[in-house]
């Protein structure tokens, strides 16, 4: 698998333009989330090659969004069928188990993708140490993402940007992704809350986002619909650079 390059410290003109179009609000809440025990979600994601266009950012920016940048490290070898294992932002060890697809999301003909059901566990993660042998089989993903949420209030979904709550909500993220000198971008939806309302919450969030068609020739179709772990599994394998210093520290 290819190694992932770190984004430049200076914004490109397109990125600066996008930042001006989005109503950026600083994320709230603690920097290290608490343990998430067996959280059930339904999700749909599209990952497309190329630079995130300013017009797409403006379309997403109809709703308030928090901005963050982080580095996630995914376990790719050994390949664990039905599981996604990653170190999230160097703070949480996250394990997701795939529970199949409950169907297809078709948002007014403007987006079509496979809905995936997952169960997720997150644990506080300890320090990283230098161990070159221990870094083989992992790959780094650099993400810069804008995050909005649609929360259930008074019987309908309302746009917000705060941290995840315990009620029904649909998180929507627009993400720049860097990979080995290549540029990608992703649009993803994740519904959480009571199990019997997950799909309707996801569909409600998608209906609000796609009430206005995406700009230009953006193709949010089945050919681009995939989870991060599925996308990474299709790419050439390489090791994490030793400078990352990846090692699970049993002292936590």
Instruction: Using alpha carbons, select from 207, 203, 234, 209 the residue that is nearest to residue 104.
Output: 203
pLDDT of residue 163: 66
- Give the C-alpha separation, 106 to 30, whole Å: 35
List, for residues 96-144, the tens digit of each pLDDT value. Answer: 999 999 999 999 889 999 999 999 999 887 655 434 334 668 888 999 9
Ramachandran angles phi, psi of 107, nearest 5°? -95, 85
pLDDT of residue 77: 87
Write out the DSSP string of 100-141. ---EEEE-TTS-EEEEEEEEEEEEE-------GGGGTTEEEE
List, for residues 140-193, the tens digit of each pLDDT value. Answer: 899 999 999 999 887 788 887 666 666 899 999 999 998 777 889 999 999 999
Domain covering 37-241, topology: Hypothetical Protein Pfu-838710-001 (2.40.320)
pLDDT of residue 137: 82
List, for residues 187-213, the tens digit of each pLDDT value. Answer: 999 999 999 999 999 999 999 999 999
Ramachandran angles phi, psi of 209, nearest 5°? -65, -40
pLDDT of residue 241: 45
Q: Which residues contact 47 (CB under 8 A, 6 or more apart)?
A: 177, 184, 185, 186, 224, 226, 228, 231
Contacts 24+ apart (CB under 8 A), 28-34: 28/66, 28/162, 28/163, 29/162, 29/163, 31/91, 32/91, 32/92, 32/124, 33/91, 33/92, 33/122, 33/163
Question: Contact, 230 vs 116, CB < 8 A?
Answer: no
| Domain layout of the chain by residue ranges | 37-241
- Give the C-alpha separation, 210 to 202, whole Å: 12
- Give the C-alpha separation, 219 to 208, whole Å: 18
Q: What is the DSSP-derived secondary structure letter of residue 228? A: H
Write a three-state SS string for 197-215: HHHHHHHHHHHHHCCCCCC
């Amino acid at each position: 698998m290819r190694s992932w390059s770190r984004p430049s410290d200076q914004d490109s003109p397109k990125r600066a333009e996008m930042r001006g179009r989005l109503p950026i609000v600083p994320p709230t809440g603690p920097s290290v989330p608490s343990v998430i025990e067996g959280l059930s979600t339904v999700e749909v994601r599209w990952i497309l090659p190329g630079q995130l266009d300013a017009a797409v950012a403006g379309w997403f920016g109809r709703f308030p969004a928090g901005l963050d940048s982080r580095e996630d490290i995914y376990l790719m070898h050994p390949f664990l069928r039905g599981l996604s294992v990653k170190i999230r932002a160097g703070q949480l060890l996250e394990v997701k188990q795939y529970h199949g697809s409950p169907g297809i999301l078709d948002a007014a003909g403007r987006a079509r993708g496979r809905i995936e059901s997952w169960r997720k566990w997150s644990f506080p993660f300890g320090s990283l140490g230098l161990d070159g042998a221990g870094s083989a089989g992992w790959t780094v993903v650099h993400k810069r993402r804008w995050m909005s949420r649609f929360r259930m209030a008074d019987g309908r979904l309302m746009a917000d940007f705060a941290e995840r709550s315990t009620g029904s909500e649909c998180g929507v993220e627009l993400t720049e992704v860097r990979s080995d000198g290549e540029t990608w971008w992703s649009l993803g939806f994740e519904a959480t809350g009571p199990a019997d309302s997950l799909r309707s919450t996801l569909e409600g969030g998608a209906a609000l986002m796609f009430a206005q068609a995406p700009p230009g020739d953006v193709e949010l179709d089945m050919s681009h619909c995939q989870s991060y772990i599925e996308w990474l599994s299709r790419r050439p394998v390489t090791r994490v650079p030793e400078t990352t210093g990846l090692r699970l520290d049993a002292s936590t």
